[in-house]
A and B are shown apart, each in its own frame.
Chain A
Amino acid sequence: MLIARGVTQADIGAALASPFVRGAVQLSLVTSAIAVLAIVALGTPTAYLLARRHFPGRALVDAVIDLPIVLPPVVGGLALLLLLGRQGPVGGPLAGAGVDVAFTTAAVVLAQMFVAAPFYIRAARAGFESVDQRLEAVSATLGARPWRTFRRITVPLALPSLAGGAVMAWARALGEFGATIMFAGNVAGRTQTMPLAILEAMEADANAAIAIAVVLAAIALAVLITFRGLARAGSRAL
Chain B
Amino acid sequence: MIHIDVALTLGDFRLAPRLQVGPGITVLFGQSGAGKTLTLEAIAGLLTPDRGRIAIHDRPVFDAAAGLNVPPYDRRLGYVVQSYALFPHLTVAQNVAYGVFDLPRAERQQRVDDLLRTLGIQDLADRRPAQISGGQAQRTALARALVRRPQALLLDEPFAALDEGVALTLRRELRRLVRDLGLPVLMVTHDLTEASHIGDRIAVMDAGQVLQVGDRPDVLQHPRSARVSHLLGIANVLQGEVAGSENGIAVVTPIGPLHTAQTGLTEGPVRIAIRADQIILTRPDRPPDNRLNTLDVEITDEADFGHSRTLYARLANATEASAPTLEIQIAPHPYQVMGVATRRHWRVHIPPEAVHVMQT
Main secondary structure of the interface of A (DSSP, over half): helix
Q: Name the one of A137, A152, A157 contacting B88, with C-beta atoms under 8 angstroms.
A: A157
Tell me whether B98 is interfacial, beta carbon within 8 Å.
yes
Binds A, one of B70-78, B192-200, B235-243: B70-78
> Contact string, A195-225, partner B, CB cutoff 8 A, digits 1/0?
0000000000000000000000000000000
Contact A143 B46 (CB under 8 A): no
Tell me whether B312 is interfacial, beta carbon within 8 Å.
no
Contact B89 A134 (CB under 8 A): no
Set of chain B residues within 8 Å of A152, measured between Cβ atoms: 98
Tell me whether B107 is interfacial, beta carbon within 8 Å.
no
Distance to closest chain B CB from A44 (angstroms): 18
A134-B81, A135-B85, A157-B89 given; A140·B99 CB < 8 A = no
Q: Name the one of A134, A144, A157 contacting B73, with C-beta atoms under 8 angstroms.
A: A144
Tell me whether A75 is interfacial, beta carbon within 8 Å.
no
Distance to closest chain B CB from A237 (angstroms): 7
Distance to closest chain B CB from A236 (angstroms): 11
Set of chain A residues within 8 Å of B75, measured between Cβ atoms: 141
Tell me whether B108 is interfacial, beta carbon within 8 Å.
no
Set of chain B residues within 8 Å of A139, measured between Cβ atoms: 87, 98
How many chain A residues sit at the interface, stated as a range, is 10 to 19
Number of interface residues of B (CB under 8 A): 27
Tell me whether A132 is interfacial, beta carbon within 8 Å.
yes
User: Which B62-121 residues have a C-beta within 8 angstroms of A?
Assistant: 71-75, 77-79, 81, 85, 87-89, 98-99, 101-102
Set of chain A residues within 8 Å of B216, measured between Cβ atoms: none
User: Which A131-177 residues have a C-beta within 8 angstroms of B?
Assistant: 132, 134-135, 137-145, 148, 152-153, 156-157
Inter-chain CA distance A184–B101, complex, in Å, is 49
Set of chain A residues within 8 Å of B144, measured between Cβ atoms: 138, 142
A140-B71, A140-B73, A143-B148 given; A238·B128 CB < 8 A = yes
Set of chain A residues within 8 Å of B85, measured between Cβ atoms: 132, 134-135, 137-138
How many A-B residue pairs have C-beta atoms within 8 angstroms? Tell me: 63
Set of chain A residues within 8 Å of B87, measured between Cβ atoms: 135, 138-139, 153
Instruction: Give the residue name and chain of the A residue nearest to B71 (CB).
Output: A140
Distance to closest chain A CB from B244 (angstroms): 56
> Contact string, B298-331, partner A, CB cutoff 8 A, digits 1/0?
0000000000000000000000000000000000
Contact B128 A141 (CB under 8 A): no
Instruction: Give the residue name and chain of the A residue nearest to B89 (CB).
Output: A156
Distance to closest chain A CB from B83 (angstroms): 9
Contact A142 B98 (CB under 8 A): yes
Distance to closest chain B CB from A35 (angstroms): 29
Contact A141 B72 (CB under 8 A): yes
Distance to closest chain A CB from B142 (angstroms): 13
Distance to closest chain A CB from B161 (angstroms): 14
Set of chain A residues within 8 Å of B128, measured between Cβ atoms: 238
Tell me whether B160 is interfacial, beta carbon within 8 Å.
no
User: Which B248-276 residues have a C-beta within 8 angstroms of A?
Assistant: none
Tell me whether B188 is interfacial, beta carbon within 8 Å.
no
Q: Name the one of A137, A145, A156 contacting B81, with C-beta atoms under 8 angstroms.
A: A137
Inter-chain CA distance A238–B89, complex, in Å, is 5
Q: Name the one of A134, A135, A137, A237 contacting B72, with C-beta atoms under 8 angstroms.
A: A137
Distance to closest chain B CB from A238 (angstroms): 6
Inter-chain CA distance A177–B72, complex, in Å, is 49
Inter-chain CA distance A132–B128, complex, in Å, is 17
Tell me whether B170 is interfacial, beta carbon within 8 Å.
no
Instruction: Give the residue name and chain of the A residue nearest to B84 (CB).
Output: A138
Instruction: Apart from A138-B85, A142-B99, A143-B148, list 18 A-B contacts with CB within 8 A.
Output: A135-B87, A137-B44, A137-B81, A137-B85, A138-B144, A139-B87, A140-B45, A141-B44, A141-B46, A141-B72, A141-B73, A141-B145, A142-B98, A143-B73, A144-B98, A144-B99, A145-B71, A145-B73
Hey, which bits of chain A sit against chain B, CB under 8 A?
132, 134-135, 137-145, 148, 152-153, 156-157, 237-238
The 10 closest A-B pairs by CB, nearest first: A142-B99, A140-B72, A141-B79, A134-B85, A143-B73, A138-B85, A137-B46, A141-B72, A156-B89, A140-B73
29 contacts between A and B (CB under 8 A): A132-B85, A137-B44, A137-B46, A137-B72, A137-B81, A138-B79, A138-B81, A138-B87, A140-B45, A140-B46, A140-B73, A141-B44, A141-B45, A141-B72, A141-B78, A142-B99, A142-B147, A143-B102, A143-B148, A144-B98, A144-B99, A144-B101, A145-B71, A152-B98, A153-B87, A157-B88, A157-B89, A238-B88, A238-B130
